[in-house]
Amino acid sequence: MNYNFYDYITTNVYKTVLYTGVTNNLYRRLSEHLEDSKGKRKTFAGKYNCHNLIFYEHFDHIDHAISREKEIKGWLRSKKEDLIKESNPEWKFLNDEIDPF
């Protein structure tokens, strides 16, 4: 059986804030971040308008995804920027590339 888990990094339109998360449904989670940024802003991502996807990784096992998320969250911003640049050197917003299914 295939399982899908994702670590991801989102940012605001100015790319000044980075948010790292983990989810089993990337499309849904990005939609939730967007809705929160337009609404009550209850989360960090909502408060700082971090709904623009700039990096993600796929995992088959949740424990691997959670471990990697914790690792990335512990990094300095400069190391996170290097990770993003490896796969997305232009920091292009990737939201439209995510399949809703």
Alpha helices in 5-61 (DSSP H): 26-38, 44-47
Render pLDDT for 14-31 as a digit per residue (tens, 0 to 9).
999 999 999 999 999 999
Question: CATH code at 76?
Answer: 3.40.1440.10
Q: Which domain holds residue 93?
A: 5-97
Render pLDDT for 38-85 as a digit per residue (tens, 0 to 9).
988 888 998 999 999 999 999 999 999 999 999 999 999 999 999 999
Into how many domains does the chain fold?
1
pTM of the model: 0.94
Compute the C-alpha angle 8/42/60, nearest 5°. 25
pLDDT of residue 1: 60
